[in-house]
Structure 1
């Protein structure tokens, strides 16, 4: 390459590869959104748009018929010639690889709008000039397929063409809207659809093909360095462009060397989106100011390098920053001073690393990227590089994040004991202890976690070592995100509550009209019994936990448990909440899980036993054939069960899961039950608690039926409650909403309870046992969360 009369040798490939950049994804997203808006507005508000267009056309349509024809004729010729002009421009630019994408985009745009209910309708474009020329051209102006083809090929060709051409051609294409209004015609709705479809097809084609290679302005780079007194004689590609900058090694006649980092115009888009996402999820004190401009980001890195270089802990020196042609930005600096740390595990380096970090922190500078690849060693002193994430005047939170990140990297390279000891000796116990609260996945940046082998284990080991060396009893996790995990879970539960409550809300008017004739004393009895079931459930769980948690708090937790179980499918939220409560109460994770599993096992055994007893008692006075499935259904259930059993026996992975995951849990629960048999008092409390829950629900339903004047036996109601509840428990809806009501109403009808009594009785039963506890459970769960009980 010859620049200003000097020959510069270039070695290596400097072209950017084809890639799907963030700009392509954003363009496709916007095109999809526009297409949805156009289709929706055409379907919903088309009549209003037509009236508005006619009104606007009457106001701006000031041309005479002759003038309108001339305007229409001139614009029609331009629209007809536009695709051929684009093609000639591509040929002139020698973009031979573009033809396939060009043809594909145009074909897909035309074919997508040619599909009809009777098949594909081919375009009927013709160039018969025997009639008026304006009539011939109108077939292209008003045909959405031609507009779609133009939009598609222009979108595909845009990245390859000069920006001025692209802007003029888009202006010409979009001008069909005002042109139609000026000539007193309504804009065809299908033309707008064609425009949006063409843009979408073009954006999709660009995303599939990739953004083209861009010409690198090496001549501008040579001139920018010459202004700094560095006359380049040769440049060698060290790292090709891609996810990072194009890196070159430059040399002059005197043998001096320089590292050149060149950032393309599209490379910052992904970084800007990542910055925005980090700012969105983290608090303001945790994030640096947004740098959406490539030029500003490179300038920030260069200035931070200058500041750290003055402190004597930078391994590079900034030489030049320049804005080049075609949106490129140059950052030139000296080669890194010293030797790379590499895989060295010399423990003497630990003290030097922490000492260099202390220099930065004394001057309120946060590095932000403390990986060993960004460090070198010169005469026993560790120097830093890579200041793209650094901050001058950093907040305390950013300084603490630095310490946590270096604890992770040094603990992985050396040992947690060595790393923490060096950190404490350099920065002090309190500083390290405070920073160790950030040894979490959310606080430690992803680039730091990816640089170590097992980040979770490393962070846990470092945290334990900090506790040992500082004498701390516990290290409380720092909350750094705008939305904590608990807040997200509570939001999801609240949305689920609204979802499951909707069927109930829709029946409220009818239900309240029936309440006028209800006997409120029976309703109050049902409410009291419903509250008693929570005491029974708490007693059962308290006994399963061997009385190691507060019984009072367990009773309170049962209301929050109802909220969590109702708003999650299959009641898994309630089981998780119970386990979490026991853990916070002092039980280990394994012991808490075993206690909840034991309670569920006894609950199932008690439920089945009571169902058998009451079925026998009801058999003499009631017809239970309503609840017996048909023979076909029994055969189907048996076949499915045998199929599942065969699958687990024949598939090795499923068989291993049975042996390694399920079998130990079953053995654990079985051993717990055997141990429980040796403690009659504890067993009696658990069984009575579980029986109180089951029979209490039946008693509430019986009281609800009595409140509306119903007359049925308690045995019958118990059968309906247990059988109906069991069948509805398989429903995928949270809390069994809909399934429980249907099962109970159907069961009562099968035993002769009229619908006028059964429907409001079941609704009252659900209010007393489900909805009142659910609405009380939300504030109770927040209260338990605030006191760190869950």
Structure 2
């Protein structure tokens, strides 16, 4: 059937929805011609992917828990066994019989019931998930886990070797239940999970199952069930347009025809609907209010239940990352979403702001809900031609925002797609689903910052600020200046700012020209930065690796067995590194620097690097010191950059040289850094670099960074090369710095009776130092310890000797200098040297 616009029209009726929505004796609504794209038979729901990921995280968590707290899991199992031993045998026998029969009978009965409801596809998906779960559990029980005993396995199979780490009888049932879906069927859910719980209890009382194994089985079954459901796809539960029109008739709006409106957000379907009325009569809604004449009288937004979790991970990330006075819920139920948008629509209309009038709301079966708005013909602001975006239109948009802010309403999505411009040139605010009533000052100012940026992207910062000031006042705009940050804006706006990098700065400049006192530092909106999160993850992983190694070290024997002569040598070598770092900096600065104060700055850096990555803290402190010493900011940054660049070049050359020497000696360290491996790695890096440079964005980024670096560093190096004394000082300091750390590490090894060829110690230090510089943790914490311990163990030291040497080395180079570093930092601050 062809619709009025030549598209394909579907005339499905209400009978084609899920069987649970049918009611005996209810007449099917008359078919309504709906022009919409064909509905897919199957969809992949974001909620299934999220549950799959959550189940995998739970499985990983229980594995981590039992590997760390084996004694705790064994103790818990013992307590359960002793407690159930006193339970009446009759009840335990009854539970065993019930679970043995019911754990399979209840799911089978449910499957038969679904088949009678003509829902065989869902049952087939559940059976597929059960088969996959059965195969996976067999594989884990017979092959994988049995090939790697110890640790986690011992905790999972508490009770004897006949116990399976994951349980084949329960996992397929859990996978079937997860995939077949029992949402809204409380009795079936209660019966099924009761049988699964009784089966688990039977396993615990009979001592052939552990708590850890049962929890692992639960998460494994859930992961397989939801993973299968997402991979295969679920039968499309979204009601078609004809069912939406039938729901409209239940609230007194009889649809004559409807058309799907393209170009809307993926998680909201919208239809233009023409409603019936007597010839010559004016159509009205259920309250008797006249509706506008035209082709379409209603715009119906359909909220599908399966789309309520779309983008939930991004919303959770924003909720956790941003500081907001009233954090929004990242996930809302269908009913909550319907109530939220309805409340905002009524509140915006009551505030006098212009928005399409909400005519009615209704549920559409059990899987969707609708909101019927007055249809306003027009164009979204982001699709409007440039010549149509006049100052009068901008003033009207700012007027709508002023009404919202006066009523303490926050829109939260003031992008170009949320502003509808009618055929008469008037602005309407739409997309109210994220709005807030009784909003706080921060939310209102964020709205202002978002709209400023949205309009500035369209018409430029000058016109956006000028029209806003005419409506809101200069003082109101001044309040938005601290919030003009990328992190405060929507995702689409941040993406658009990538091609307008200076736009926020230009907006601030325009406001400051009007209100000079508005120049204020940005408000910190982030709870943490992504680098902070990366640091936390890195420290957690490092602690997981390092702490088990520390547990094998006896501190008393460590102190008593150490050779204090070598400890003194290591301490002296560590002290020499600060003198070497001072020489390294002084050699690349043409200006004269006092040696004593420069050494103090390097000592102070040992305190600063505990709160920031080592590479960042050293650069910042040295740059600040040079500026206080009279060096201009540009040359100061260039001098520090030159010293860092030469240090990196020297580090790479030494690593290649000693890696080649070490790999050619044929000793026990050949597996650490053989020359052939180094050549292969270098060739692979060269190939990857060449491939990356073929990408225009990567090439422009690298070219920009190289241009910025060499524009200042190269002239600075030229100045240094004119003085042989400076060259010797700089390069000598670079070499002395490496020698000091190598001697400190070697003396730390010898202090505990260990011994390695000096070439191997050099390679170990250079490798670990590179890892520590790249790590985002303060002072390379965790990364350096792990790299050093692993490298020394590979080189031939015992695990205990390697761990002890690393602890002493890090004590002398990281922890012991903290107190002197703090004193040096405070002294330099008092003297205004930094």
Aligned residue for 2:418? 374
- Matches of residues 52-63 of structure 1 in structure 2 within 5 Å? 52-53=80-81, 55-56=83-84, 58-62=86-90
1:99-121 C-alpha deviation (Å, 9 max, x unpaired):
6524422322333344488779x
Asked if structure 1 preserves the Cα contact closer than 8 Å seen for 2:312 and 2:331, the reply is yes
1:415 is displaced (CA, Å) by 1.5
Q: Helix, strand or coil: the match of 1:59? A: coil
- Rounded to whole Å, the distance in 1 between the matches of 2:612 and 2:181 is 49
SS in 1 for 2:255: coil
Shift of 1:211: 3.2
SS of the aligned residue for 1:367 comes to coil
Contact 2:664 2:674 in 1 (8 A): no
Check conservation: 2:304, 2:367, Cα contact below 8 A. yes
Counterpart position of 1:616: none
Q: What's 1:19 paired with? A: 43
Q: Which residue of 2 aligns with 1:330?
A: 370
Stretches of structure 1 lacking an aligned partner (at least 5 in a row): 121-142, 611-625, 711-719, 750-757
Q: What whole-Å deviation, never above 9, does each CA across 1:20-70 have from its counterpart, x for those lacking one?
A: 3343234334544666688887997569647735753652334699xx5xx
Q: Which residue of 2 aligns with 1:615?
A: none
Q: Which range moves more in the overlay, 723-732 or 542-551?
A: 542-551
1:315 aligns with 2:351: no
Return closer, same or farther for 1:9/1:474 CA change in 2, 3 Å cut-off: same
Distance in 1 of aligned mates of 2:749 and 2:77: 57
* Cα 1:576–1:218 shift into 2, 3 Å: same
Question: Distance between the aligned counterparts of 1:380 and 1:472, measured in 2?
Answer: 36
Specify the alignment match of 2:399 in structure 1.
Answer: 355
Q: Distance in 1 between matches of 2:826 and 2:108?
A: 67
Of 326-335 and 27-36, deviating more is 27-36
Residues 336 and 156 (structure 1 numbering): CA distance in 2 closer, same or farther, change over 3 Å?
same
CA RMSD across the alignment = 6.0
Q: Which residue does the alignment assign to 1:186?
A: 206
Q: Secondary structure at the residue paired with 1:319?
A: strand
What do the CA deviations read for 1:211-231 (whole angstroms, capped 9, x no partner)? 331163989866765575433
Equivalent residues of 1:369, 1:448 under 8 A apart: no
Aligned match of 1:268: 308
- Name the counterpart of 1:173: 195
Identify the match of residue 435 of structure 2 among 390, 402, 405.
390
Partner of residue 426 from structure 1, selected from 463, 471, 479: 471
C-alpha separation in 2, matches of 1:321 and 1:488: 42
| Aligned-partner SS, 2:87 | helix
Change (3 A) 1:498 1:595: farther
CA distance in 1, matches of 2:232, 2:744: 66
2:5 alignment partner in structure 1: none
1:29-68 mapped onto 2 (5 Å cutoff): 29=53, 31-32=55-56, 45=73, 49=77, 52-53=80-81, 55-56=83-84, 58-62=86-90
> Are the counterparts in 2 of residues 297 and 388 from structure 1 also a CA contact under 8 Å?
yes
Residue among 393, 396, 400 paired with 2:445 = 400
Distance 1:212 1:581, change over 3 A: farther
What is the rounded CA distance, in whole Å, between the counterparts of 1:62 and 1:206 in structure 2?
40
Contact 2:663 2:675 in 1 (8 A): no
Q: 2:332 aligns with which of 284, 289, 292?
A: 292
For residue 477 of structure 1, the aligned residue among 522, 530, 545 is 522
- Show CA shifts across 1:241-286 (max 9, x none): 9941332333222365212222233332346665544332222326
Contact 1:148 1:195 in 2 (8 A): yes
Deviations 1:469-519 (A, max 9, x none): 555796523201222568657767977997999779947534643789779
Between the aligned partners of 1:489 and 1:789, the Cα distance in structure 2 is 33
CA contact (8 A) 2:413 2:431 kept: yes
Q: Which residue of 1 aligns with 2:716?
A: 672
Rounded Cα–Cα distance in structure 2 between residues aligned with 1:702 and 1:31: 47
What SS does structure 1 have at the residue aligned with 2:434?
coil
Question: Structure 1: how far apart are the matches of 2:432 and 2:31?
Answer: 30
Structure 1 range deviating more: 371-380 or 646-655: 646-655
Q: Give the 3 Å change call, closer, same or farther, for CA 546–8 of structure 1 in structure 2.
A: farther
Aligned to 1:617: none
CA distances 1:565-607 after superposition (whole Å, capped 9, x unpaired): 79999x6455654577579979999755532232246668999
Structure 2 CA distance for aligned equivalents of residues 62 and 304 of structure 1? 59
Distance 1:354 1:35 in 2: 51
**1-side partners of 2:134 and 2:791: how far apart?**
55
Question: Runs of 5+ in structure 2 lacking a partner?
Answer: 1-12, 15-25, 145-165, 278-282, 284-290, 292-296, 655-660, 773-779
- The residue that corresponds to 2:10 in the other structure is none
Q: Which residue of 2 aligns with 1:728?
A: 765
Does the 8 Å CA contact 2:404/2:410 hold for their aligned counterparts? yes
Q: Report the counterpart of residue 237 of structure 1 in structure 2.
A: 260
SS at match of 2:524: coil
Structure 1 pair 175–293 and aligned structure 2 pair: CA distance change class (3 A): closer
Q: Does 1:599 align with 2:640?
A: no
CA distance in structure 2 between the partners assigned to 1:267 and 1:281 by the alignment? 23
Task: Give SS of 1:284's match.
Answer: coil
**Residues 26, 765 of structure 1: CA spacing in aligned structure 2 closer, same or farther, 3 A cutoff?**
closer
Q: 1:9 to 1:642 in 2, by over 3 A?
A: closer
Distance 1:273 1:57, change over 3 A: farther
- Structure 1 CA distance, aligned partners of 2:809 and 2:563? 16
Q: What is the alpha-carbon distance in structure 1 between the residues aligned to residue 600 and residue 789 of structure 2? A: 27
Deviations 1:327-363 (A, max 9, x none): 5332221113654432332342333323332232233
Tell me how far 1:413 sits from its aligned partner: 1.0
Residues 252 and 596 (structure 1 numbering): CA distance in 2 closer, same or farther, change over 3 Å? Answer: same
Whole-angstrom distance in 2 between the partners of 1:396 and 1:64: 61
Deviation per residue, 1:113-138 (Å, 9 max, x gap): 44488779xxxxxxxxxxxxxxxxxx
| Contact 2:309/2:331 (8 A) holds in 1 | no
**1:247 maps onto 2:247 in alignment:** no
Secondary structure at 2:602's aligned position in 1? helix
Residue among 92, 96, 104 paired with 2:128: 104
Cα pair distance change 1:469/1:675, threshold 3 Å: farther
- Count of residue pairs brought into register by the alignment: 727
1:414 is aligned to 2:459: yes
Change in 2 beyond 3 A, CA 1:653/1:276: closer
Q: How far has the Cα of 1:373 moved from its partner?
A: 1.6
Return the match for 1:630 from 640, 662, 665: 665
CA contact (8 A) 2:238 2:368 kept: no
**CA separation in 1, counterparts of 2:806 and 2:316?**
51
Question: Is the 2:267–2:308 Cα contact (8 Å) retained in structure 1?
Answer: no
C-alpha distance in 1, partners of 2:593/2:508? 28
Is contact 1:259-1:335 (8 Å) kept?
yes
| TM value normalised by structure 2 | 0.68
Instruction: Write the distance in 2 (CA, Å) between the matches of 1:117 and 1:637.
Output: 43
- How far apart in 1 are the matches of 2:414 and 2:195? 51
Partner residue in 1 for 2:4: none
1:509 to 556, 570, 573: 556
Equivalent position SS for 1:189? coil
